[in-house]
Amino acid sequence: MKTAKSGKVVRYNKWGYIFLIPFIVVYLLFQFIPLVTTIYNSFYENYRSGLTQIGPNFVGLANYKTIFTNGDMMQYAKNTLIMWVLGFIPQIIVSLLLASWFSNPSLRLKGQRFFKTVIYLPNLIMASAFAMLFFTLFSDGGPINSILIQLGILSQPFKFFSSATSSRVLVAFMNFLMWFGNTTILLMAGMMGIDTSLFEAAEVDGATSTQVFFRITMPLLRPILIYVVITSLIGGLQMFDVPQILTNGTGEPMRSTMTLIMYLNKHLFSKNYGLGGALSVVLFIITAILSFAVYNFSNKQD
């Protein structure tokens, strides 16, 4: 049929290109060209020192050498990673638990829609407003300290934002709250896809629910778990709004909550395009490798 009308088909198919024009033009203009100029900038010395503009002068790989040797980037990468891990571990545990409960037909949980609505809610809240809220709630004279003192747990206010550990834990906790609902729904969709006859067979063989979870659900869920881990890591690398607002962009105390994107944001504001460019390229390469892994993985599934 197709060959008989091939003249017509070809005539229609040029519309494929026409309908792609808006996407391609906008992508090239606002994403591809910026990517190229970002890479270009990373090879030039270009910043402001007081009122004098330095550069742009071609410096080769000097910017990369600077960001890898002066220690800042490594420190901020470490901060980002620590806060991501602290948030991701409870996130994946809680999500796995909730998803397996929601998708377990023998439990017949009531009010599922209510619970799903509630756990997904924090994901849609403006991260900057949520961070501002946590900043006021956990401030020295704020409601949380007030509650803890009223309950007799503390005798004097605990300064949450003076210790590196508690600041990082707060950032991680907020990331956990904002993302575990999303992860739960993803994992649940994956669990729903598992052939129920496997569970029935296991039940007939006398497996406990714990055994079913670790021997059947987990191995079959591995592809989605890997997808969740890698996409969450890519998301974690972009961590910005929460620590930025929580610490007013300082990454205090002792630069312990400064993330890579906050560092990039600083360079963008101070117009240090050389170092900013090199940092962007490093982040680009890391995310490119990670997304390539996701792409390869989800393609193997098909």
Partner 1 sequence: MNKKEKGLSVGARRAIAYVVLVFISILCLFWFYVLFINASRSNAELARGFTPIPSTNLLTNWINLSSGRAATVLPIWYGLFNSFLIAALSALFCTYFSTMTAYAIHVYDFKLRKFMFTFILMIMMIPTQVTALGFLQLIGKMKLEDSFIPLIVPSIAAPVTFFYMKQYMESALPLSLVEAARIDGSGEFRTFNSIVLPLMKPAIAVQAIFTFVTSWNNYFTPALIIKSDKKKTLPILIAQLRSTDWLNFDMGQVYMMIAFSILPVIVVYLVLSKFIVQGVAMGSVKG
Longest CA span, the chain: 86
Number of residues that bind partner 1 (CB under 8 A): 112
- Angstrom CA distances, 214 to 96, 105, 220, stand at 11, 17, 10
Asked if 31 is part of the footprint of partner 1 (rule: CB under 8 A), the reply reads: yes
Residues 38 to 57 in contact with partner 1, rule: CB under 8 A: 38, 40-41
Interface with partner 1, residue 188, by CB under 8 A: yes
254 near partner 1 (CB under 8 A): no
Alpha-carbon distance 60 to 66, whole Å? 12
Count the helices and strands in the chain (H runs, E runs).
Answer: 14, 2
Looking at beta carbons only, is 71 or 206 nearer to partner 1?
206
82 binds partner 1 (CB under 8 A): no
| Minimal distance, residue 74 CB to partner 1, in Å | 18
208 binds partner 1 (CB under 8 A): yes
Euclidean distance between CA atoms 258 and 172, whole angstroms: 13
Q: Hey, which residues between 263 and 292 contact partner 1 (CB under 8 A)?
A: 264-265, 267-269, 273, 276-277, 280-281, 283-284, 287-288, 290-292
- Binding of residue 34 to partner 1 (CB under 8 A): yes
**Options 57-65, 77-85, 103-111, 159-167: segment touching partner 1 (CB under 8 A):** 103-111
The least distance separating partner 1 from the CB of residue 257, rounded to whole angstroms, comes to: 14
Q: Choose which of 54, 61, 121, 201 interacts with partner 1 (CB under 8 A).
A: 121
Among 61, 85, 129, 254, binds partner 1 (CB under 8 A): 129
Residue 234 in the binding site for partner 1 (CB under 8 A)? yes
Residues 3-22 that bind partner 1 (CB under 8 A): 9, 12-20, 22
| Residue 82 vs 187, nearer CB to partner 1 | 187
CA geometry: angle 99, 301, 282, nearest 5 deg: 85
CA separation for the pair 275, 41 (Å, rounded): 9
